[in-house]
């Protein structure tokens, strides 16, 4: 078992029966590795970029990246150059793409360690070219087209200008155009009419770029949902994110297991106080919950400062004492309360907020349904005050 301070994953094992001191997020690195193997099998002839942004979707950037590489990911995807630099500092040498950068970003540092960089607009190419000149190295560049998401990526009318600017920088020896890419809006709704339109728009953009002389190493469009359900969108590389961590991007089709995926995070805590209270007792701030009979309350030391949504008030499901229960009363900054009736629960007993569901505990998807959100938010919002405990052999 590894503590949150140890980013080494060699030959580490953990005991899932030992409870955390206060709370922890138990991360199954074998599950991440095996999920990537499943995704690589789905990708067939396309290579896999495992997206490890946002601290590996809350699972830990470096351990998650290492597990993904062990499962067959040959690329890693991050949001920021800083995240890419952290991967390099940890000794990960795989191609890394950082795609959300701002004017004046750490371009020089990124180019120096060989991080691939994305351009949505000509100003980006100008700044990357300047960084390349300063380092004396050739920057690796991916060009992004907006095919219908309406978020990042060059607008279609601006695509020719972006292509021409990139080709000019390439001819000058500042950049190498490595990739062409885009992102789906509705891949998590298989059959949505925008999907086919976006695939067609991406192919048109690729054809235009290649007609101008671009020779990319990789063309990539598929996120987790498209990796699992849209083989026609795989092109040269797929970019699964949430599926790497065993959470399905298409929950309407069933649990992760239908794709062979296993959730990697279990969030657990220990009861720190139980007490009997009378009927009519208000619980937590604002008394949003009142006991209906004499009962036992149990205090759990996790709150919204740890990433437990305040909106989980009277809604958040947990497993405590072998029984599914709901949070009673308002979620506080550091704690919440359970009404356990006459059940025997004591200080030190384990409470599982979510996990794979093997022991009857809620899953992150159960939390998402209860709170009218997505499971992505549930796992990524678990904060740094919650230590990560790593299990697995890599």
Q: Can you tell me the distance from the alpha carbon of 382 to that of 305, in angstroms, rounded to the nearest whole number?
A: 9
Spatial distance between the Cα atoms of 39 and 71, rounded to a whole number of angstroms? 9
Asked if 275 is an active-site residue, the reply is: no
Question: How far apart are the C-alpha atoms of 227 and 231, rounded to whole Å?
Answer: 7
Phi first, then psi, for residue 277 (nearest 5°) are -135, 160
- The DSSP secondary structure of 211-251, one letter per residue, reads HTT---SEEEEE-HHHHHH-GGG-TTEE---GGGGT--S-G
Catalytically annotated residue among 89, 144, 168, 285:
285
β-bridge partners, 267 = 25, 354
Specify the DSSP class assigned to residue 6: -
Q: What's the rounded Cα separation, in Å, for the pair 163 and 382?
A: 40
**3-class secondary structure, 325:** strand
Among candidate residues 190, 101, 128, 118, the one with its CA nearest the CA of residue 154? 118
For helices 193-211 and 159-171, the axis angle rounded to 10 degrees is 40
HSE-up (13 A, CA, CB side) for residue 262 = 13
Instruction: List, in sequence order, every residue forming a beta bridge with 266; answer none if it has no partner.
Output: 26
Residue 175: φ, ψ to 5°: -135, 160
What residues contact residue 26 under an 8 Å CB cut-off, 6+ apart?
Answer: 14, 16, 265, 266, 267, 268, 355, 388, 389, 391
Is the separation of the CB atoms in 317 and 362 below 8 Å?
Answer: yes
Instruction: List residues with catalytic annotation.
Output: 53, 285
């Amino acid at each position: 078992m590894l503590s949150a301070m140890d980013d080494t994953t060699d030959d580490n094992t953990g005991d899932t029966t030992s409870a955390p001191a206060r709370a922890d997020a138990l991360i199954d690195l074998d599950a991440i590795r095996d999920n990537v193997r499943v995704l690589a099998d789905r990708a067939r002839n396309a290579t896999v970029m495992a997206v490890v942004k946002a601290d590996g979707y809350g699972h830990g950037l470096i351990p998650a990246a290492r597990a993904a590489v062990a499962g067959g990911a040959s690329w890693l995807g991050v949001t920021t150059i800083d995240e890419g630099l952290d991967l390099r500092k940890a000794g990960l040498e795989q191609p890394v793409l950082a795609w959300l950068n701002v004017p004046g970003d750490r371009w020089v540092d990124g180019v120096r360690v060989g991080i691939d960089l994305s351009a949505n607009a000509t100003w980006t190419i100008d700044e990357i070219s300047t960084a390349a000149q300063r380092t004396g190295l050739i920057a690796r560049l991916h060009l992004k087209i907006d095919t219908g998401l309406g978020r990042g990526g060059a607008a279609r009318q601006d695509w020719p200008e972006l292509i021409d600017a990139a080709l000019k920088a390439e001819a000058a020896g500042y950049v190498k155009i490595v990739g062409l890419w885009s992102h789906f809006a509705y891949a998590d709704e298989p059959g949505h009419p925008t999907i086919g339109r976006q695939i067609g728009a991406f192919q048109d953009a690729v054809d235009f770029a290649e007609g101008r002389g671009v020779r990319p190493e990789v063309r990539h469009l598929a996120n987790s949902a498209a990796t699992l359900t849209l083989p026609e969108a795989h092109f040269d590389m797929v970019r699964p994110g949430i599926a790497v961590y065993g959470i399905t991007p298409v929950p309407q089709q069933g649990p992760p297991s239908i794709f062979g995926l296993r959730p990697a995070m279990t969030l657990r805590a220990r009861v720190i106080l139980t007490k009997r209270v009378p009927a009519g007792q208000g619980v937590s701030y604002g008394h949003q919950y009142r006991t209906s009979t004499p009962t036992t309350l149990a205090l759990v030391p996790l709150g919204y400062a740890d990433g437990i949504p305040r909106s989980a008030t009277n809604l958040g499901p947990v497993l405590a004492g072998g029984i599914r229960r709901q949070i009673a009363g308002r979620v506080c900054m550091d704690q919440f309360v359970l009404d356990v009736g006459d059940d025997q629960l004591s200080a030190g007993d384990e409470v599982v907020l979510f996990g794979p569901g093997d022991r009857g505990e809620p899953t992150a998807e159960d939390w998402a349904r209860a709170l009218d959100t997505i499971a992505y938010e549930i796992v990524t919002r678990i904060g740094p005050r919650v230590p990560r405990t790593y299990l697995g052999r890599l």
